[in-house]
Structure 1
Amino acid sequence: MGTEARMDCQHNQITLYTAQTDEVVRNLLEQGRHYVKLEYIIRKYEEVAAVFLQAYAWYTENAQRIVPKPAQAESAVWSFCDVRYLENHPGSQILKLSVPIENAVFFRMSDWNKVLNLRYIGESAAEEAQFAEKLARYGVRYEGDVYTTPFYPHLKKELKDSWQRLFRYDQQVKATGVSPYPDMQAGLWYLDRQWLQET
């Protein structure tokens, strides 16, 4: 299952990294907590925001079954187990966090990218290839069309059902403190000023 690496876990805390705008960091320091608002996502993604909002809505609906979502959180804060997976843009900062492990929902970045691109998450590459072959038999060229058009309800259900695999590593990570893949990501419902660590 890939290269296993022990995560930085101690006393049920895990070290995670997130990149946030200077505005978010300022608000976090002043108010003590930061919650994501959908307006931030719309502002960030502009004309393609609608596609992202669908994926984020699916994530929010399903991730809150793993870690209950506070009412103030409209979406998740993305964080990573390995700082190398962060994109750092001008006007943003990388934050090092020590988070109670039960506050995080763990998944692979590569699986999340499949959800964002409205693609199938298989148990294996072979299973994903089988789904692609099935789509080809129906004349579907782009997987996302299954999701965005009303013509393939049974295929859309199969596609959306596959997204539950996004969370397949969550319990394993929490039980062992071991990252089964280097691209492990974690969703947090908020940032807490007390989690901030010196970098």
Structure 2
Amino acid sequence: MAEPGVTNPGAKVVRAYTRQVLPMWEELKEKGRYFVREEYVRAKNDTISDYYLELYRWCTAAAKRHGVRVPEGLTLPIWLSLSEAQRLSPSADTVSLTLDVPRDELCIIDYNKWGYRVNDFYVPKDEADERAHNQELQKRGISNEAMLIMGHLGNYYPDMKRKVIASWDRVFTPNEDIDQNVGVCWEILPEWVVDAKVGCEDE
């Protein structure tokens, strides 16, 4: 059966793309491995860093449950584009990498569903399910469903809280349209690099 959101189902590697800052490229060449450190997340996200660190650790634990091989000790994902249409354009002080990522080390996520997860919302099965869920929220007088997770409402509506949390695993069901998905891995190795463009060197 064809795997949703993958251009070459059954392949041992998946072509992916990422744009990173130049120190990442130097680290990969010098140390033979690159992975995200907590200080990188804190430098980027400032006062909301703890929220993103918790979110990324959830993603890592859930990916493992879905059979993705995550290297020991790593918990922070590296985000990848899965098509040429998705990839970020080259820019100054960055490196644009084309990678062949081992399929068993790649997690494919429906990016639209990930948006629900980021906001601690219910991830619906489809539009009809989303309408039914919103009607249930309205019936119970819940105007901000994120408070089921982030606030006190989960104590009053534990069934709704469980429903929301259980729905989050749906982010790991890829969209049939590859451009609606993103890839996640937890390290990059030099042998995965097919091509590297530093800055805007094509211009």
TM tier relative to shorter chain: 0.7 to 0.9
CA RMSD of aligned residues (A): 2.2
Q: Does 1:165 align with 2:170?
A: yes
Describe how 1:42-191 pairs up with structure 2 within 5 A. Answer: 42-65=42-65, 66-87=67-88, 90-152=92-154, 153-169=158-174, 180-181=176-177, 182-191=179-188
The alignment's TM-score, normalised by the length of structure 1, stands at 0.83
Gap change, CA 1:146 and 1:87, over 3 Å in 2: farther
Secondary structure of 1:15's aligned partner? strand
* Aligned partners of 2:111 and 2:171 also within 8 Å: no
Displacement over 6 Å in runs of 4+: none
Gap change, CA 1:12 and 1:126, over 3 Å in 2: same
Q: Does 1:28 align with 2:24?
A: no
Structure 1: gaps (5+ residues): 170-178
* Aligned partners of 1:51 and 1:116 also within 8 Å: no
Secondary structure of 2:80's aligned partner? strand
* 1:154 CA displacement: 2.3
* Aligned partners of 1:13 and 1:101 also within 8 Å: yes
Secondary structure of 2:73's aligned partner? coil
What percent of counterpart residues are identical? 21
Structure 2: gaps (5+ residues): 197-203
What residue number does 2:199 align with? none
Gap change, CA 1:193 and 1:159, over 3 Å in 2: same
* 1:9 CA displacement: 6.8
Aligned residues: 187
* 1:138 CA displacement: 2.2
The alignment's TM-score, normalised by the length of structure 2, stands at 0.82
Letter in 2 for 1:71: E
Secondary structure of 1:58's aligned partner? helix
* Aligned partners of 1:29 and 1:193 also within 8 Å: yes
* 1:8 CA displacement: 5.4
